[in-house]
Copies of this chain bind each other. A is one copy, B any other.
């Protein structure tokens, strides 16, 4: 299955910087796949030989912590996945799993490296990505460990609304157990805080359907009080 990457409507900023030549190289060296919710994209502990381009959909990056599975972050399309794990280690250090239906392209590592070598602009964009990710992870580190649960949950909900779904109404793409693993709490606490927020009129919760009713409040809780 090889669509022409030149016409791919889902290019990242980086990809749009590629030369025709490199795009052709991509075209002839990628494997396109349609995935369903829950399908594994990258599996911790297995050999990594591909970089993955997430064309459409939403994925979670997670890994085995000392006790429970830890969800490190959510990534939505379009985005490259697995760069750290394929470049930084022979064996995948983390898993990536689709949490919605998704389309992905598996790109051979060498081809990707080659393209990285040959396209300055692309290279810069990818490095830019790395930098943003590292900054993000620094901030997450400081926030997650210092804030109380309500603050972290507020954060996560705002993130879903603003960064992932770009809407104040959305379906939570995770179970409460998973949500707990993302926010560093217990499943029970997630449940409690969610109903709490609902009772306080800050959000409305109907099953996994969430609507932000009072964004200001949520932001205040996020900044913490």
**Could you tell me which A residues sit within 8 Å of B by CB distance?**
61, 63-68, 70, 72, 83-85, 87-89, 93-94, 113, 116-117, 120, 123-124, 126-128, 130-135, 137-147, 151, 184, 223-224
Closest chain B residue to A70 by CB distance? B142
A87-B127, A94-B138 in contact; A143/B223 too (CB < 8 A)?
no
A90 → B minimal CB distance (Å): 12
Docked-complex contact A128 and B65, CB < 8 angstroms: no
> Among B63, B116, B117, which residue has its beta carbon within 8 angstroms of that of A138?
B63
C-alpha gap A138/B127 in the complex (Å): 18
Known contacts being A66-B147, A66-B223, A151-B66, is A88 close to B128, with CB within 8 Å? yes
Q: State A120–B118 Cα separation when bound (angstroms).
A: 9
Asked if A142 and B89 sit within 8 Å, CB to CB, the answer is no
Are A88 and B134 in contact, with the CB atoms below 8 A? yes
Cβ distance A80 to chain B, nearest Cβ, rounded Å = 12
Closest 3 CB pairs of A and B: A88-B131, A65-B142, A70-B142
Give the nearest-CB partner of A69 in chain B: B142
Residues of B within 8 A of A124 (CB): 113, 116-117
Q: CA A126 – CA B134 in complex, angstroms?
A: 14
Question: In whole Å, how far is A181's beta carbon from the nearest beta carbon of chain B?
Answer: 10
Of B88, B116, B137, the residue contacting A132 (CB under 8 A) is B88
Contacts of A89 in B (CB 8 A): 131, 135
**Do the beta carbons of B135 and A224 come within 8 Å of each other?**
no
Cα of A72 to Cα of B141 in the assembled complex, Å:
7
